[in-house]
Every structure is written in structure tokens, then in C-alpha cells.
Amino acid sequence: MIQVSVIGHGEIGSALTHMLAQRSDIVVESWDKNIDIVPGQKSLSIIIPSSDVVCICVPTWSARSALQTIAPLLAPQTIVVTLCKGFEKETCMNAHELFRRNLPSTTPLVFLGGPMIAEELLADTPTIALAASADARARRAITELFQGTILAIRETDDVDGAIMAGALKNVYALGLGIGDALGIGSNAHGALVVIAAREMALIVQKSGGRPETAFGLSGLGDLVATAQSANSTNYTTGIRFAQGLPPLRGSEALNTITCIASTLENLIPKLPFLEAIRAVVLDGKDAREAMKNVLS
């Protein structure tokens, strides 16, 4: 039997649990800091040491706390899978940096990204995801873990590219939400997707990743899925910004745009779509005025 622990029983954590529990050779233990969400859950001190795989399904802003709790409990060969797609606000570390600094150096780490809208996974709708890791054995193990489920896995060793593309797609999904709320239409929406992909590729390359990763599952694939889903927090946050309303809940895009704006300040003027998003989110500029330059 393969034992998997899923930490965080929100939408994506619930979806992973649902998928993996359908395999008879996998035992899934779910855990959430809110004990009312997973009644009767076992303690981390019981489930983590015996886990073959630990999936971290919490927002990036909660990841450090989760990692510091589970790190001392991990067995040497336990694979940690992260679905975090953002930056830590206080340090501007991306998910890869954050996990590597807070886990034992020998812990195999896999980033799982791509178009994985939780509601569709829970409805058993098939999709394809990307497993990114420098550890080929760990990548293969996660690919095999999801065999027989509705989630097919592709593999890459471009961790920097996959992590950055996954974080950026949140920002550009927010931007597409802004555009759609302004009534730009399907033609302009399609043009913005192309502009977003090109800008993502440039940022990914500047960040040490391979630009083609931005056009793959964790970048363009996830962006297209996210920016047409009413279930997407980042997309609906963009809609609310265009309407002059505050976000309803935390959005990974907000921390990411703040960190990108501070670390890539000299590059942003060359990225009109990102500059427009930054102007609306961080400077409070009128959304319609900010978007004029992107589509001209």
C-alpha cells in the first residue's frame, strides 16, 4: 500500500484526496488546521512519518508554517509535492525557494502545476498536469501515483520555469478578468492571452527557466483554464478590481505582482500587460485607462 498525506483540505486538497482514494492500493490521510473540515483526522505526528508522499495543498502565504511543522516529521525518502503557485509576501521567495529552505536538503520535492480546476477534478473530468523536479525518481513516482486516475502527468526538470510560469498565470488571469469585466470581447481576450504568454516567457527566461515552459501546461495551459473559470479566485479578483471593488478573499496574484514589481522593476516597462495590471492593482489606476496601451 502507498500512503499519501494531503495537507490542506480546501478545494484542491479535496480534489487530490478524491482522485487518489479511488485507487485501491493507496491510503489517503487528509489533514487541515481547521479540525471541523476533516472530522476525526489523525495528528500530523502519526500520518507524516509513515507517508510515502506528502502533498502540500495550502496557499503560499501559509506554506512556511505548514513546512516548519511537518519537516521534522518527514522520513528521509518521503516525497513532498507542492501545488503552491505564488510568492511569500514577506520575503518574495517563490514556492521553490520557500520549500527548499524549509525542508531537509535530502527531501525529494516535486512541483505539480497545470490546468487543474478543483471543481472539474471532483467531477472526474480528465486533464493533464505537469510534474517538475530536479529529481527524476521523484518525478516518475508522482507520475505513477496518478496512473489510473483522471489526472495524466507530464514531466520536466525545469523547476524554475514551471514555478515561475505557475505564479505568473495567476497574475495574467487577474489581468484577463479585468479585461473581460471591461467588456473587451472575445477577439481582444484572445489577443491578451497571446500577449500574456509572450510576457510570461520573457519573465521565465529572466528568472532562470526555459521560455518554452511558459507556453506549456503550467503556464499557458493553466492560464487559459483559469481565465475562463468563474471558480478562479484570481480571475474573479480581476473582475472586482475593474469594478472598483476589493477582493473577496486572498489571491496568490496579489502577492506575486507585488514581488514581481519590486524584483523586476527595470523589466516591467517592456511588458505592457503586466504594467497595466500593476498600475490597477498597486497604484489604483482606472482599469479602462490602464488597459488602453496593452491593446493599441
d(CA 175, CA 98) in angstroms, rounded, equals 26
The residues, any chain, with a CB within 8 Å of residue 261's CB and separated by 6 or more, are: 268, 278, 282
The answer to whether 234 touches 251, Cβ cutoff 8 Å, is yes
Residues with Cβ within 8 Å of 188's Cβ and at least 6 positions away in sequence, in order, are 179, 295
> Catalytic one among 33, 85, 89, 169?
169
Distance, CA of 209 to chain centre: 16
**In the annotation, is 89 catalytic?**
no
Confirm if 269 and 290 have CB atoms less than 8 A apart: no
**CA distances in angstroms from 188 to 109, 233, 241, 293, listed in the order given:** 39, 22, 19, 13
Catalytic residues: 169
